[in-house]
Each structure stands twice: as C-alpha cells, then as structure tokens.
C-alpha cells in the first residue's frame, strides 16, 4: 500500500501535520508512517544517558514515537487508518531518503509553525526537505486541517516540467478528493501567446482527468500577483514547483509566503521538476 510519510520532532506543529496526513490517508486510502530521526550524538552526550545505556535510550524513543502516533490517531477517531512508526539514528535527510528508497512513499508531510512560516526555516529541516529531497513535500502550518474537497492551485511559469513521481502524486490527490478541479496560475512576468498555449497543452496532457481552470497574473511583481490571486480566489493547497531560479525560491526569501499562509491557504505542496 502507498504511504504518506510524516517527519516528527514531537512538537505541536508535527502533531498537527500528522493529523492532516491521517485525514488525507483516509481519502487517498494510504498508510501513514511517522518517522523520527535521532541525531547521531543524541543520548551519548546527554548526562543522563551515557554510551552504556544508549540502546535503552533508543528503545525509549521508539516507544515514545509509537505512543505519540497512537494517541493522535485516537484523538482524530481514525482508527481504521494503518499507521506505523520508524525511529532511526542519523540525520533527518538521510533517514527519510533511505526509507523512501525502500518503500512506496507517495508524499512527505512536514509541519510549520504559523509564526515563522517558510521564511523562518532557512537552514532548518523543512528547508532541507525542499533543497535536498526529491519527493513531493506538503508543508502544513499550525492550525490547518484537511478538507475532503480542497481547492488546489498550481502556480507555474510553464518553464519547469514536473517529475514522474510528482505528477503521480498530484493525480492521486485530484482523483481521490470530492472535487477534481485545479486552478492553474501562470506566474511568469513575461511571455507570449505561443508559450502560454504550449504550457496549457502540456498540463492538460499531464492531468487529463482534472477540471483545469487557467488564470493569469497581470502584475509587475510575481509574489504580489500570487497574493492578489489568493486574496480573491480561495485556495486550500498551493502547489509550487521547485526550481533554482523560479518563483518558489523567490517566495522562500521574502515575507510573501507568510502573508499567503495567513490567508485561505491551508498548505503548500512543493513539487519537483
């Protein structure tokens, strides 16, 4: 069975992301895996646990993760969802990458605190996931919850091509939710009609079963154009395609994304070319 992977540090934000993933899993008919990475020196440098008791420390961590996941599942009344946990030693990037290479992971979910947003996580685990891991990653801000009929918006400049795994993830999401509508937001600052027509055709071919609605920004600033669109059009999940020079990186280095997340956007799905 396909899986949704949730990275957790046992925080409130991670708990909210796990609850979001459970609700998605019910619709998508997937399993949810809670994963926690133990830093290589964790426990050893702790005065309470020296090297002699390190195995006991790891066992306690694993037990705590299992209980954490079960408690949250019970709170959401979603006992029918298959959940599993993995507590492994290593850096989070390596632990996630190793698990994903050996298992049918469809999506990685990570929590964000509402006060910092994406702009406050440069160098953090969330920033690492965007820059180092090539898998569709959903960032869920604190307080967001999944709806069975989410409005999905894909922001694109038509320059990037989605990877096969990311296209599949987007298709799975669109086919499972009650609405198969997806808004496509063209965010390039300059273009021509041929480029637009070619881009529309490519997306229609990638997502033949989706009800696509194409929208075009008429603004000098692309981030401001996205905010204007969000202000006037409801969006639950905003999809951005990772590319070194495109809108995603400009958003990550500005305060715009905090403004976006404070509007109707409940989550940001980062895709890859």
Q: In angstroms, rounded to a whole number, what is the distance separating the alpha carbons of residues 8 and 184?
A: 31
Give the model confidence (pLDDT) of 168-189 as tens digits.
888 888 877 777 789 998 876 6
Q: Which domains does the chain have, with CATH numbers?
A: 3-141 (3.40.50.620), 152-272 (3.40.50.620)
81 within 8 A of 117, measured Cβ to Cβ: no
Look at the block and give the residue holding tokens 């920004």: 217
- 3-class DSSP assignment, residue 118: helix
Task: Express each pLDDT in 248-269 by its tens digit.
Answer: 555 544 455 555 555 567 788 8
Annotate 158-174 with DSSP letters as a single string.
S-----HHHHHHHHHHH
| pLDDT per position as a tens digit, 47-95 | 555 656 777 888 889 999 999 999 999 999 999 999 999 999 888 888 9
Q: Provide, rounded to the nearest whole percent, the portion of the chain with pLDDT above 90.
A: 25
Does 121 have pLDDT greater than 50? no
How far is residue 55's CA from residue 67's CA, in Å, rounded to a whole number?
18
pLDDT, residue 18, reads 96
- pLDDT at residue 31 in the model: 96
pTM of the model: 0.85
Looking up tokens 């965010």 gives 187
Contacts of 133 (CB under 8 A, 6+ apart): 93, 96, 97, 100, 108
Number of helices (H), then strands (E), belonging to the chain: the values are 9, 10
Average pLDDT taken over every residue of the chain: 79
What average pLDDT score do residues 139-148 get?
Answer: 85
């Amino acid at each position: 069975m396909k899986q949704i992977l949730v990275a957790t540090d046992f925080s409130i934000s991670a708990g909210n992301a796990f609850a979001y993933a459970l609700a998605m899993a019910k619709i998508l008919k997937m399993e949810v895996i809670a994963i926690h990475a133990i830093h290589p020196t964790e426990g050893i440098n702790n005065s309470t646990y020296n090297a002699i008791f390190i195995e006991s420390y790891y066992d306690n961590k694993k037990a705590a993760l299992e209980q954490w996941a079960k408690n949250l599942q019970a709170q959401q009344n979603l006992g029918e969802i298959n959940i599993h946990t993995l507590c492994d030693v290593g850096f989070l990037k390596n632990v996630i990458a190793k698990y994903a290479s050996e298992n049918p992971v469809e999506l990685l979910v990570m929590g964000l605190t509402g006060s910092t947003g994406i702009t406050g996580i440069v160098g953090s685990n969330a920033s690492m996931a965007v820059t180092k891991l090539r898998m569709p990653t959903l960032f869920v801000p604190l307080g967001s919850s999944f709806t069975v009929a989410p409005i999905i918006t894909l922001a694109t400049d038509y320059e990037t091509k989605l990877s096969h795994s990311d296209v599949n993830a987007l298709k799975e999401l669109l086919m499972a939710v009650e609405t198969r509508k997806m808004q496509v937001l063209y965010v390039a600052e300059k273009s021509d009609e041929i480029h637009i027509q070619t881009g529309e055709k490519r997306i229609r071919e990638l997502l033949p079963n989706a009800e696509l609605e194409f929208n075009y920004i008429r603004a000098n600033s692309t981030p401001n154009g996205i905010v204007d669109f969000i202000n006037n059009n409801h969006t639950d999940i905003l999809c951005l395609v990772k590319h070194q020079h495109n809108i995603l990186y400009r958003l990550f280095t500005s305060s715009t994304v905090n403004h976006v997340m404070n509007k109707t956007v409940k989550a940001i799905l980062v895709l890859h070319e």
